[in-house]
Amino acid sequence: MTLTITAQTISTKSIEQLNELSGENVKLCMQCATCTGMCPMTAEMDLSPRKVMHLAQFGMLDRLSDSNTWWKCASCHACTVRCPRGIDIAKVMEALRQRVLRTNKNYIEPSALPAERIAELPQIAMVAAFRKLTS
């Protein structure tokens, strides 16, 4: 992944917004990729958690908007507990999800769930998925 970084591509406002929403400081990341190594969902992600953190550090949220990474995050906190810089990466992923969900957009459609799935899924699966992936 080649990044062209200029004064125009870096958005300090986006970095501030993301930090405010997550309560974290993405600039602390030193790109060691421990998060990627810990993440159980990387096979499903188009950008690894490390790459997401890299783009987030430059406030390149437009570049991130097509990524599925934070939608595939299971909020398992494996990255968080091992981050040597102490960043709660799960909170950064949540902030990226919430930026979209708060514009009244759903990532999954509850109404599209087949009745037989609803019948077998534990309630916590549905409550959790709707909280994380719908507005």
**Contacting residues toward another protein, per CB under 8 A:** 20-23, 40-41, 43-44, 71-72, 74-78, 80-81, 88, 90-91, 93-95, 98, 107-108, 113, 120-129, 131-133
Give residues with Cβ within 8 angstroms of 89, minimum separation 6: 24, 35, 49, 53, 79, 80, 83
Residue 54 or 94: the one with the smaller Cβ distance to another protein is 94
Of 7 and 124, CB closest to another protein: 124
Q: How far is the CB of 35 from another protein (least distance, A)?
A: 13
Shortest Å distance, C-beta 18 to another protein = 11
Cβ proximity to another protein: between 32 and 133 the closer is 133
AA letter at 26: V
Q: How far apart are CB 14 and another protein at their closest, in Å?
A: 16
Identity of the residue, 8 or 20, whose beta carbon is nearer to another protein in the bound complex: 20
